[in-house]
Amino acid sequence: MEITTQPTDLTEQINSWKEEVNEVREDAKMMRERLEQIVLSSAPREVMSRVEHFENRLLRQREVADEMFHDLKQCAKKLSAEQPPTVIHDDRPICDYDTMSNRMEIFQKLFIELKEDFNQFMDSEL
């Protein structure tokens, strides 16, 4: 099936994803700061091992966010360099938009799961 997409629509979607990635970065930063508060307290050893677990997950989340942001920037750069009046595609828009869309869905899903786990941990520690 062939779909016509305006480059500006693709650019807007990519910019929206970049904003989402930045929001994830900010949320992850706040979660790390909350973990630092636990580390500074005299929490039991088992709590500290869970803190370390979340620190590792947040570190990996940051790495994935950085990779996503870089790839989105490259995709936007490719779009701006080509500038055709209309992009025609058959379920695979320019710069492998379909793949980027799938990656963003997975990125969002995994971060939501991380955030839910983190909030449950924090609720149990309060």
Percent of the chain predicted with pLDDT > 70: 81
HSE of 40 in the Cβ direction (CA atoms, 13 Å)? 6
Q: Are 114 and 32 in contact (CB under 8 A)?
A: no
pLDDT-based confidence at residue 6 (cuts at 50, 70, 90): low
Q: Position 15: which residue type?
A: N
Could you give the CA distance from residue 20 to residue 116 in angstroms, rounded to a whole number?
17
Q: Where are the domains of the chain?
A: 3-125
Q: What is the pLDDT of residue 126?
A: 62
Q: Are 115 and 27 in contact (CB under 8 A)?
A: yes
